[in-house]
Amino acid sequence: MTLPAVLRGRPFPYRDNSLNLFRLILAALVLFAHSFYTTGNGTGPHLQGENIGGWAVAGFFVVSGFLITRSRLRTGAGDYLLHRVMRIYPAFLACLVVTAVVFAPIAVLLQYGTLAGYATTPVTPAQFVWSNITLYMNEYGIGRSLSSVPYPTAWNGSLWTLFYEFLCYILVWILGAFVWFRRNAIIAIVSFLLVTAAHAVEPLVVRFGLDPSFLLFLKLAPFFLGGACVYFFIERHGVNAWLGVSSLIVAVVLCAFIPGWGGQIAAPFLAYGILWLSTIVPQPAWVSRNDVSYGFYIYAWPVQQLLALLGVGIGAGVLGMVLYDVVAVIVTFGLAWLSWVLIERRAMARVRRKPQRAAALAPGA
């Protein structure tokens, strides 16, 4: 396919973009959306039945689809899977443990003044970690903790999406085994259309008695695959301002006027628009070097629950919500930075050193 000259763009700057900043903004939007629930102030702003947090998660998925597809096509199957596991799992496991041994005990002390029975009252801390260790969230509560907050018992309302994110990693891992997937966008486009169509006819799909988890996958996978489709397009044609602006307009129109599945069919346009914006919006140098968005995403909810337990901003109207959100952002940002420095960056550095060590040990030609 040959595009008119006015629509042809420049190569996407993989090392000089502001995707770290955009992902951090998306994580902050999830925090903002959740604050309505965790403070007992309703469900917040919605568009087509989805709150701001849900749309932010869609943004995460389209960006991931773009970047993860590139990773799959540039690395072997084994290295790809190892990189994906090490990027998502160590910090996830650490978050579970920190919740069980730090956040929840603090909450119990604040509520009851003692930790007596904490380790043995179901769901025990050990059960919480073990039952969620596969990325699939089976348990959200720990013992008697968080029984008095507006959104009771749930220690993390964000982690559930990671299971579906990883399923998308596996899907691209499998698709990457096909030569056609590596050579052109046909398989990615067909996969995107099939999954989107399945989500669009969800009332019919439900009749097959499928597990609700599969329905959630059908809801989220189109965003990821939309990003994958855009990867092939951008690799061939680059990014262009006209297409960037047009894509954002089309995405907004589709999301606003097609109920139920407008966001899914808009995924490629949303992906292209965000990627184009990341080439023109600058980000602070510190954000370029430190990708704290994942840590921000996984720690925001437990921080918000503790703040709600402490009564920060509760019952104080709009100003109370502003105070609550500001404090939550500051505390969460600190924890996200610790997660990045102590766990995520080290885990990725370890797997990236492996090929270098292997090359150094290989016999000379």
Per-residue pLDDT of 157-168, as tens digits, reads 999 999 999 999
- Residues 240-268, mean pLDDT to the nearest whole number: 96
Angstrom distance (rounded) from CA 136 to CA 332: 23
269 close to 250: Cβ distance less than 8 angstroms: yes
For the chain, what is the total number of helices (H) and then of strands (E)?
17, 2
271 close to 228: Cβ distance less than 8 angstroms: no
Q: Is residue 5 part of a domain?
A: no
- DSSP-based three-state secondary structure for 257: helix
pLDDT bracket for residue 120 (50, 70, 90): very high
The region of weakest confidence among 1-5, 114-118, 165-169 is: 1-5
Q: Is residue 71 part of a domain?
A: yes
**pLDDT surpassing 70 at residue 356:** no
**pLDDT surpassing 80 at residue 359:** no
Q: Is residue 365 part of a domain?
A: no
pLDDT 10s digits, 25-58? 999 999 999 999 999 999 999 998 899 999 999 9
**pLDDT surpassing 50 at residue 365:** no
pLDDT bracket for residue 361 (50, 70, 90): very low
Positive or negative: CA dihedral 253, 256, 259, 262: positive
pLDDT bracket for residue 360 (50, 70, 90): very low
pLDDT 10s digits, 179-196? 888 888 999 999 999 999
**pLDDT surpassing 60 at residue 364:** no
**pLDDT surpassing 70 at residue 357:** no
48 close to 262: Cβ distance less than 8 angstroms: yes
pLDDT 10s digits, 308-331? 999 998 877 889 999 999 999 999
Angstrom distance (rounded) from CA 231 to CA 220: 18
Angstrom distance (rounded) from CA 95 to CA 326: 22
- Residues 10-14, mean pLDDT to the nearest whole number: 96
Q: Is residue 2 part of a domain?
A: no
150 close to 313: Cβ distance less than 8 angstroms: no
Q: Which amino acid is at 202?
A: E
Range of the domain at 48: 10-354
176 close to 73: Cβ distance less than 8 angstroms: yes
Q: Is residue 320 part of a domain?
A: yes
pLDDT 10s digits, 226-252? 999 999 999 999 999 999 999 999 999
Q: Is residue 288 part of a domain?
A: yes
pLDDT at residue 180, rounded to an integer: 86
DSSP labels, 19-35: HHHHHHHHHHHHHHHHH
91 close to 295: Cβ distance less than 8 angstroms: yes
**pLDDT surpassing 60 at residue 99:** yes
Closest CA to 164 of 192, 136, 188, 189: 136
Q: What percentage of residues in the chain have a pLDDT greater than 70? A: 95
CA triple 331-332-334, angle to 5 deg: 70
Q: How many domains does the chain have?
A: 1
Q: Is residue 187 part of a domain?
A: yes
Q: Is residue 54 part of a domain?
A: yes
